[in-house]
Structure 1
Amino acid sequence: MVENYMKQSALAHLGLNARSAPQEPVGIELSELAAGGHIGLRLDATNKIIREAAEKALGHPLPLEPNTVTSKGKKQALWMGPDEWLLTMPADQTAKLLTALSKALDDYHAAVFDVSDSRLTLCLSGTHARDVLKKGCGLDLHPRAFGPGQCAQSTLSMAHVLIHQSAENKKTKAATYHLYVHRSFAHYLWTWLEDACDEYGVKVGVG
């Protein structure tokens, strides 16, 4: 029998919990979000029967428009391609949703797989969050081109990431981005982000 083990973040060695004293003033908040569940989903979205079977198990529609996100409660579906999505949810809901999707799609040409341990999620927020990303990402992040509820795969300082803008304060123009990065690039990307944030004042930690 395989023994259970304590899962550890790829950034655990940085001791982010202990680094609570921010620079002044603070223009950026950078944190690692608590580990959640990630499920990969592949299917033919043009097949209404298959798509609706998946959506019934998921509990909300899949995003069909490129680079968009749909959600219900704490569950999200991020568009990765015409036939691919990344589903995110609290860790304790992963097994139940994985089982429901697998059962719903068992008779169809589709794939459902748990990728929770393959990546982690960083959160970058503040009035200068967009400026930081622009230092290493070629995406057009201007609000008229990329706003809340949108996502895109890209490179950020040579690291492959999925960028999701989850919110923006209309008054302060402070934006919040979730960055999904593979574990093998997590330390590199974190150190790059800290350096890129430095000129604006940065508060780091665990979200």
Structure 2
Amino acid sequence: MTAETLAPQSPLAGWQLTGDGVTGRERPLLGQLSVRTSHDLRRLVLGSDGSHAARRRQPERVLRLGPDEWLVLTTPAERTARGSSLQEFGVVTDVSAQRTTIELTGPRARDLLARGCAIDLEVSVAPVGSCYSTLLAQTGVIIVVDQQDEILLLVRSSFASYLARWLEDACTDLS
């Protein structure tokens, strides 16, 4: 088998969640670039307001994961060009195949996550632009509060089906 025959595959192809006040779907094959730099990448690249999850344009985001660790989310088509443009700021590694992205929307999305997460996701504590690396249902995730009623979960591809089943189960008696 050659590299030309290998095509990216989504771990949750076609998965959807529908519950009382919350819906979910996978955003498959999102470009993800890990950047290690001491510069404030949000300000250099986006000229942002300083939130942990700054947005340039849909769906690009710059997430601060640590003092010198950043994760840039971009479209699959822009991944290579974006990676090249970021090399002037530090070390760039393409980690797109490492995680998949689950998008939860609706007024009950935060309530659903509260069932398996120790982070307080109330609006006053976790406003739009917040980004957390934590455990959800004993699975490592990055939680991005993208909009008031929209949350992104970045989860390792190998744990994606487990987390999707957990979300379905936790959603059944959401009241």
The answer to whether TM tops 0.5 is: yes
Say if 1:101 and 1:4 are closer, same or farther in 2 by CA, change over 3 A: farther
State the alpha-carbon separation in 2 of the partners of residues 5 and 176 from structure 1: 32
> Whose radius of gyration is greater, 1 or 2?
1
Q: Distance in 2 between matches of 1:192 and 1:82?
A: 31
TM-score where L is the length of structure 2: 0.88
Work out the CA distance in 2 between the residues paired with 1:181 and 1:76. Answer: 16
Q: 1:83 aligns with which of 35, 59, 68?
A: 68
- Deviations along 1:112-153, one digit per CA (max 9) or x if unpaired, are 100011000001121211111111000011111101111111
**Aligned counterpart in structure 2 of residue 38 of structure 1, from 17, 32, 42:** 32
1:142 aligned to which of 111, 115, 122: 122
Matched residue, 1:178:
152
**1:149-160 matches, cutoff 5 A:** 149-160=129-140
- Matching of residues 1-207 of structure 1 within 5 Å: 2-12=3-13, 15-16=14-15, 26-45=20-39, 55=44, 59-61=45-47, 68-74=52-58, 75-102=60-87, 104-105=88-89, 110-168=90-148, 175-200=149-174
**Aligned partner of residue 151 in structure 2, secondary structure:** strand
Deviation readout 1:47-97 (Å, 9 max, x if unpaired): xxxx69x93xxx4147766xx111211221011011111101111000001
Code of the residue aligned with 2:33 in structure 1: it is I
Which amino acid is 1:45 matched to?
A: H
Tell me the SS of whatever aligns to 1:45: coil
Q: 1:172 aligns to what?
A: none
RMSD: 2.4
- Give the length in aligned residue pairs: 173
List per-residue Cα deviations over 1:152-176 (Å, max 9, x = no partner).
Answer: 11100100000011111xxxxxx21
Between 29-38 and 89-98, the greater mean CA deviation after superposition: 29-38
Percent of aligned pairs sharing the same letter: 30
The AA in structure 2 aligned to 1:90 is T
Q: Hey, what's the Cα distance between the residues in 2 that align with 1:176 and 1:60?
A: 21
Amino acid at match of 1:140: D
Distance 1:62 1:183, change over 3 A: farther
Distance in 1 of aligned mates of 2:124 and 2:3: 51
TM-score normalised by L of structure 1:
0.75
The answer (yes or no) to whether the contact 2:10–2:28 under 8 Å persists in 1 is no
Conserved 8 A contact 1:37-1:88: yes
Separation in structure 1 between the aligned mates of residue 76 and residue 3 of structure 2, nearest angstrom: 20
- Asked whether the 8 Å contact 1:149–1:165 carries over to 2, the reply is yes
Letter in 2 for 1:81: G
2: distance between equivalents of 1:62 and 1:117?
27
